[in-house]
């Protein structure tokens, strides 16, 4: 049995068949039970999960922990804690300076703890948005196929080809001028969105017409064309709103948490959407979907009751694998200066600062670096463990 799950083989009235049918009753295990059995035996996954749990506790109670051990608050600068040359001082347990200080005399220990808070905040919000957008668009593309699929798949290609880090670098460079803000107003963003949307709509309609000509079919239905073009309103309408309504006030994009999350989500959703699209494509061909159609089930019912529940396992696995990449992404953006803005503590920003004084203050880079590496590693290990535990093909153990 390829499912790996022991099966109850006892057909009603089928007891005459010899062999396996008579071999008593094998207790059937539910997938959940099987999942727990496997996870419990997997020590690496368990240890990683405990580490993450600890990290969450630390992030939530960072303030209390810092008070408890007598360390200073994360943003308190003090020349008292610099060494005699006025630069960062190393760990000193007697002074409750466990991880030393940075160049401004701030406590690295409490900054590392507060950094966990930022990392997890970004990880949770952007992973949630990434998975939400990825799953919704992936299921729509895979289930409806046709023009919706063409549109979304091309969009994914564009997004995957988009040099996100370059964009981040550009933002970072722009930020180092003036007030530390990008001199691009929402109106500019709105204009770009409108142009992009209109061009996209024309491209889609043109493509459909061209393809229909080539295939020699009947002309595509007007409704379908209209729908294809209308999909771009999703981009055009908010663009117009930004341009005309918001943009007039000369709002500026300032780097910070929302920009970080936006960039991460834009860069990551296509990966999830692709995987989910592929899975949906194969699920929609299953006979149980056909059976639901034969019963007269609506598309909504098929997607919510028949397709989504069967996507739970891959969604869990890829969610756990997206979390570490978002943490790294946030660190990278903060390192480049477009992430979380000072004085807020972030691992990436701390590592970035530390590069300047690494030869004299090893501790400044070591502790946030270690925290980052361990966290990412733990999430990756848990993701791998989940994948093994949820995959019916890895047997027994």
* Binding positions for another protein, rule: CB under 8 A: 3, 5, 7-14, 16-17, 28, 30-31, 210-211, 214-217, 286-288, 290-297, 301, 305-306, 309-310, 312
Buried-exposed string 96-123: b where 16+ CB fall within 10 A, e elsewhere? ebbbbbbbbbbbbbbbbbbbbbbbbbbb
CB of 89 to another protein, least distance (A): 58
Nearer to another protein, 28 or 195 (CB): 28
Q: How far from 8 is each of 11, 250, 392, CA to CA, in Å?
A: 9, 68, 17
Looking only at the bridges linking them, the beta strands covering 182-185 and 252-253 are antiparallel
CB of 19 to another protein, least distance (A): 11
**Residue 120 in contact with residue 261, Cβ under 8 Å?**
no
Nearer to another protein, 250 or 396 (CB): 396
**Residue 138 in contact with residue 280, Cβ under 8 Å?**
yes
DSSP state of 71: P
CB of 140 to another protein, least distance (A): 18
Closest residue by Cα to residue 377 from 331, 320, 330, 313:
320
CB of 218 to another protein, least distance (A): 12
Nearer to another protein, 2 or 179 (CB): 2
Placement of tokens 């940075």 in the chain: 102
Nearer to another protein, 53 or 312 (CB): 312
Nearer to another protein, 10 or 75 (CB): 10
The total of other beta-carbon atoms located within 10 Å of residue 236's CB is: 20
Distance CA 164, CA 259 (A): 12
CB of 281 to another protein, least distance (A): 15
Closest residue by Cα to residue 292 from 150, 143, 137, 134:
143
Nearer to another protein, 290 or 356 (CB): 290
CB of 2 to another protein, least distance (A): 9
CB of 70 to another protein, least distance (A): 52
DSSP state of 105: S
With a CB cutoff of 8 Å and minimum separation 6, the contacts of 154 are: none
Nearer to another protein, 41 or 301 (CB): 301
Tokens of 83: 């060494």
């Amino acid at each position: 049995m390829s499912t790996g799950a022991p099966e109850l083989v006892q057909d009603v009235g089928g007891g005459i068949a010899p062999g396996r049918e008579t071999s008593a009753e094998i207790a059937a295990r539910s997938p959940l039970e099987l999942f727990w059995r496997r996870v419990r035996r997997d020590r690496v996954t368990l240890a990683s999960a405990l580490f993450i749990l600890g990290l969450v506790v630390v992030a939530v109670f960072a303030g209390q922990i810092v008070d408890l051990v007598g360390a200073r608050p994360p943003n308190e600068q003090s020349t008292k804690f610099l060494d005699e040359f006025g630069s960062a001082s190393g760990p000193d347990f007697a002074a409750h300076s466990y991880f030393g200080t940075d160049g401004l005399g701030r406590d690295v220990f409490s900054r590392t703890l507060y950094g966990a808070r930022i990392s997890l905040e970004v990880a949770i919000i952007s992973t949630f948005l990434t998975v939400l957008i990825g799953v919704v668009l992936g299921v729509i593309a895979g289930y409806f196929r046709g023009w919706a699929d063409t549109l979304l798949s091309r969009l994914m290609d564009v997004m995957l080809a988009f040099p996100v880090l370059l964009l981040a670098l550009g933002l970072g460079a722009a930020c180092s001028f003036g007030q530390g803000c990008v001199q691009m107003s929402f109106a500019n963003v709105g204009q770009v969105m409108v142009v992009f949307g209109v061009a996209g709509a024309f491209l889609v309609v043109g493509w459909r017409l061209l393809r229909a000509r080539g295939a020699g079919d009947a002309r595509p239905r007007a409704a379908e064309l209209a729908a294809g073009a209308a999909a771009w309103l999703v981009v055009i309408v908010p663009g117009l709103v930004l341009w005309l309504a918001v943009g007039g006030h000369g709002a500026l994009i300032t780097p910070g948490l929302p920009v970080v999350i936006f960039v991460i989500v834009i860069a990551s959703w296509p990966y999830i959407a692709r995987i989910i699209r592929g899975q949906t494509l194969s699920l929609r061909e299953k006979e149980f979907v056909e059976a639901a159609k034969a019963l007269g089930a609506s598309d909504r019912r098929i997607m919510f009751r028949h397709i989504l529940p069967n996507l739970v396992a891959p969604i869990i696995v890829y969610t756990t694998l997206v979390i570490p990449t978002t943490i790294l992404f946030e660190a990278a953006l903060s390192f480049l200066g477009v992430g979380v803005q000072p004085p807020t503590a972030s691992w990436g920003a701390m590592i970035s600062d530390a590069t300047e004084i690494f030869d004299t203050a090893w501790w400044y880079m070591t502790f946030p670096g270690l925290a980052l590496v361990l966290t990412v590693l733990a999430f990756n290990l848990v993701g791998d463990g989940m994948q093994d535990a949820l995959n019916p093909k890895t047997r027994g153990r």
